[in-house]
Amino acid sequence: MMKTFFCSTKHPFIINILIIKTILTVPCRGAVVLPEIIEARGIVKKYGGKYALRGVDLVIEEPMTYALLGPNGAGKTTLLTIILGIASPTSGTVRIMGRDPRDPGVRSRIGYVSQEYGLYELLNGWENALLYARLYGVPTGEARERILKLADKLGIKEALKRRVSSYSGGMKEKLSLIIGFIHDPEILVLDEPTTGMDPGSRRTVWELIMEEKRKGKTILLSTHYMEEADTLADRVGIIDSGKIIAEGSPEELKTKYGPRSVIEVGVEDGVNPEALKELESRVEKVLVSNDRLRVYVEDPDEYVPIVTNILYRYGVRIRRLIVEKPTLEDVLLRLTGRRLEG
């Protein structure tokens, strides 16, 4: 349950952040016992007779970015609200830095960006952000500075004076992020932080998150964007139907659960069904979306000629062909048989 560090280990940074600020230092022959940053064990959540979570363990021992990746209804939001102590689990336990997540002392160290923006529509950006600053006990001057800096980065500085009701979805998401970051918390819980943003904004948010990560923050986020998990996460938990079905670094997951290689073929005018049928009989799996084919194979050297040959025979015109390593999407598809993005 507890992780033991010896006082002489190579974790001076963690020890600084965690020991000094918080935590029980239990000397056991020169050793210090540190609680996990986030520790959720055996979480079960039932709504009526339906399970939203069926026994989830999520443990984050040291500062990192952890991404919960899963399709709609997988149970991501439910798990996050239970970890935050907002909802209570049907069974199971949650500890944050060894303490009850409902403890105000713990809450003041967590930033939460909910999936719903959770903003007051008739207040302007400033008023919304400053309210949360006050709730977190951030001095107004300091808060203003921080809000300005973040808003500038996210490109909504001008909009701060406007009522939130006039914001676009992406702008609301950005303000919501500012609020989550307002008290410079040690732990950030972000429920789908980039949903509804254009690709440019998404990049900006990713940069922001990576910056926090570099500062040694712990970030727990949920997403159904593969690329987001791949870019940001040190660790990814794939969640489906209320269970974490695989966990590891993106690389680990790809090697463990992905195919050896993926042949991606760009075609013109789509693929006819006969060609697809024959392909599927020869390889492990074929994914089709419009003019794009993804063919899962073990040995690309062997299969590239086979694939091109079949396509050629059925008169499919190839525009380009690349041999790739698998992505998280391929992992997810193999594990769940479902795709996340359209």
Interacting residue ranges for another protein, rule: CB under 8 A: 81, 84, 86-88, 104-105, 107-108, 110, 112, 114, 116-123, 127, 131-132, 134-137, 163, 179
* Token pair 């290689």: residue: 261
**Strand 261-268 with 317-324, pairing:** antiparallel
Structure tokens at 151: 């808003």
207/197 Cα distance (integer angstroms): 14
3-class secondary structure, 36: coil
**Least gap, CB of 52 to ligand ATP (angstroms):** 3
Q: 72 contacts which partner out of Mg ion, another protein, ligand ATP, none, CB within 5 to 8 A by kind? A: ligand ATP
User: In 167-181, which positions are buried (b, 16+ CB within 10 angstroms) versus exposed (e)?
Assistant: beebbbbbbbbbbbb
Side chain identity at residue 111, one-letter code:
G
**Using CB atoms, what's the residue nearest to Mg ion?**
77
C-alpha pair distances (Å), 140 with each of 33, 127, 129, 147, 158: 37, 11, 10, 10, 19
Widest distance between CA atoms in the chain = 74
> Closest CB to Mg ion among 239 and 262?
239
Choice from 74, 226, 232, 262 touching ligand ATP (CB under 6 A): 74
Q: 52 contacts which partner out of Mg ion, ligand ATP, another protein, none, CB within 5 to 8 A by kind? A: ligand ATP
**Does 52 participate in binding ligand ATP (rule CB under 6 A)?**
yes
**Least gap, CB of 43 to another protein (angstroms):** 14
268/292 Cα distance (integer angstroms): 9
Residue 41, judged by CB atoms within 10 A of its CB (0-12, 13-18, 19+), counts as middle
> Closest CB to ligand ATP among 157 and 243?
243
> Closest CB to Mg ion among 76 and 174?
76
Query: Site mask, ligand ATP, residues 216-255, x = CB under 6 A?
Result: --------x-------------------------------
- Evaluate whether 293 touches 267 at the Cβ level (below 8 Å): yes
Quick one: which segment of 14-22, 74-82, 181-189, 288-296 binds ligand ATP (CB under 6 A)?
74-82
Q: List residues binding ligand ATP (CB under 6 A).
A: 47, 52, 70, 72-78, 115, 224
